[in-house]
Amino acid sequence: MTKADIVNEICKNTGIEKILVQKTVESFMDSVKTSIISGNNVYLRGFGSFIIKKRATKTARNISKNTTIVIPEHNIPAFKPAKSFLGEVKENVTK
């Protein structure tokens, strides 16, 4: 599902104009990005959390040059689903 699909689904379910829904979705995503960039996690009860994960320093190999490099410790954004959401997915998604 793409962002456009989400906007269309919300428009269909609520009857709100597409342009307003699009601005709202963009604003939501900007708020989440801004919070994560500033070091704050975002918690959405019943859905999940947008969190910052710290990756430890690690050693990697550059195969083409046959050298070893050190990748420093860094932070990455991640999504952690809520237990109720995770349970629903496990019950309803078939392979």
Q: Quick one: pLDDT at residue 75? A: 95
Q: Using CA atoms, how far apart are residues 44 and 75, in angstroms rounded to an integer?
A: 21
**Structural domains in the chain (count):** 2
Are 72 and 61 within 8 A, CB to CB? no
Full-model pTM: 0.78
Contact 49, 79 (CB under 8 A): yes
The string of pLDDT tens digits covering residues 45-85 is: 999 999 999 999 999 998 899 899 999 999 999 999 999 99
Rounded Cα distance between 3 and 73, Å, is 32
pLDDT digits (tens, 9 = 90+) for 27-46: 999 999 999 999 999 999 99
State whether 60 and 30 are in the same domain: no
**Does one domain contain both 48 and 78?**
yes
CATH value at residue 67: 4.10.520.10
**Rounded Cα–Cα distance for residues 11 and 22 (Å):** 9
Range of the domain at 5: 1-39
In a shared domain, residues 35 and 81: no
